[in-house]
Structure 1
Amino acid sequence: MTAITLDTISREYGSGVFGVKDVSLTIEEGEFMVLLGPSGCGKSTTLRMIAGLEEITAGRIRIGKRDVTDLPPRARNVAVVFQSYALYPHMSVRENMRFGMKMRGTPLAEQDVRIKDASEILGLVPYLDRRPGALSGGQRQRVALGRAMVREPDVFLMDEPLSNLDAKLRGEMRQELVKLHRRLGKTMVFVTHDHIEAMTMGDRICIMRDGHIEQVGAPLDVYANPANTFVAQFLASPTMNLIAARLSVAAGVLSIDAGPIAGVLPPAQSALYSHAASEPAILGLRAEDVLTEATSATLPFTGKVVMREALGAENLIGVEAGGATLSARTGRHFLPDFGDQVTLHADMSQMHLFNAASGAAYRRKA
């Protein structure tokens, strides 16, 4: 297994325009790291720099103990799986998997063993003599993975490999990739703009914006403790509710005024956020923390239903209240009509608080 170290790497295109700037990141041996962010954030550029397909204009990259910054792609012992599959249409599955090994002079007997092993792991044995045109999208993606596997690389790099698949196949392939990672134990770097892929697949996720890293951590930890409003909104659908707010202290009690949500905070949050009193702030609440029933930690608000999505197992509704529209994730039996006035309850025990000027989160953990 092989670690990857990015040491303040940059990619400048000239005239001060950067695709990636001063990115430092250590990807541990055998880790499944997901690079997540919107289009143009630098995640694919970072992956291509690791692969040697994109010039590094500053910084260093190490794969294992080797400094590969100036090495060509073929000398880095990495395998790249692209969104487009990039299979040879005139070759069978077997020959697609064999081609790279043949070019590198791998003995024929070893080629056959590697193809057999990879095709058994990926369920490709029945399709080895078919051409890509006779395969489904999911099968072609498996062939692309198989072609990478037979190289026996130190590192797998995957650039949005599931983007061309339909929703059902994406879900299946997510599970297959996680199983493959556990079976091979190899270091994998996976680029995506899909927060569901990031949350369900990554050992850790690295969220990027404008060529910089915003936050790195285990998926559930990042979800529970976003570093700023960008991360808070990007790592969820619907995005986190964000409302301008101000805290105030009276007689030793901390209260919040956030448009439709106002009142005394629970003791734990009062102790946690007292240092932010009187500063302009932003209240953050995830949709699942807007409840249909009151608890000892909730503050009520009333508004008009302006959005509703019935998803079967749950419902999403949007409520316009006090000039803000708040999203709520409710049980399947709570689905009011458009225009209905409803009272919901903000669970303040799950609140997030951000600095209004910088967007940075106030410390949430005691």
Structure 2
Amino acid sequence: MRGALVLADGTVFEGDYFGAAEERTGEVVFNTSMGGYGEIISDPASSGKIIVMTYPLIGNYGINREELQSERVQASGLIFKEGTTQPSSWLLQDTLENLLKENGVPALTGIDSRAVTRYIREKGSMPGMITSAESVDPDWFNKGGYSPSEYIKQVSTKNPYSLGEGKYHLVVLDLGVKKDQLRALMKHNCRLTVMPAGTNWKEIMDREPDGLVLSSGPEGGQEVHELAQNLNKAINELPTMGIGLGMEVMALALGAELQKLKFGHRGSNYPVKDLERGKTVITYQNHGYVVKESSLEKTGLFVSEENIHDGTVEGLKHRELPLVAVQYYPFPEAHLEGEETFYSKFISLL
């Protein structure tokens, strides 16, 4: 079945449906990873996104459900040059096509994903729609048909739950937490109480945690600012760790500002320099906003890590409070033997 990706400015890219033959809207972004498509589309931070994979062949090793980062596909849609229905891997449990159909998520193949990526790099990320070729209306977005949702509320847990039996008790505010983040914390001897995104700071303090974790999640919208306002007191009273969106919420709560990137950082090959150690690591990222460095002056925060490509803020620490945060997704294991992980650095603050 023929389909099309229609961008908000009226540009149309035609292809073939792969996955669910549904019509979906979202912000069109690109991801430069060569693999990990299962983790990418199941990452709650991908909620509301139509993701263009720059690597041409997608689906070749299928799906291993143990690697998925949430219970469902979070992305609104997927775009790639070529897909396969006959994957091969010793970890194979299902095909990408079946996973997409199971979750009602459309994908388009046969599209020059490089051309779409170049277009987004030039014009910036923008809303788009996956639709059937017969239903294309290039003027649909100008008619007011697109309205972003409050994605954090959609992806966050509805009820608190507990995980692990470690020494340190942490409250994890679920802004769209990845399973890998929860596993990493438990591996670092932590007992977790995972709570909904809108949890009041008093309810957090009533749990008597040793520290607070602000998870990654989908960005944008007024709900981010509301979360920051609600968490100001808890962040000032508890050792706090932020990842991705969690860093943005922490910065906003302390008076900093955010800015939207032209086309975001999404991929597994972003070099980040640790300014304190003078070392550079390659990171995986999935975000479209950054903290404005110029807004940090009166917050007590300072830049601890920066993106080598564009100089944007990738890590924050506080001059007085026990706070640490990174914009990228930290690895649970050390890059070199004997080095501290981001998680172990936070544990040392408890």
Where on the TM-score scale, by shorter chain, does this alignment land: which range? under 0.3
| Bigger radius of gyration | 1
Relative to the length of structure 2, the TM-score reads 0.27
Relative to the length of structure 1, the TM-score reads 0.26
* Higher normalized helix content (fraction of residues): 1
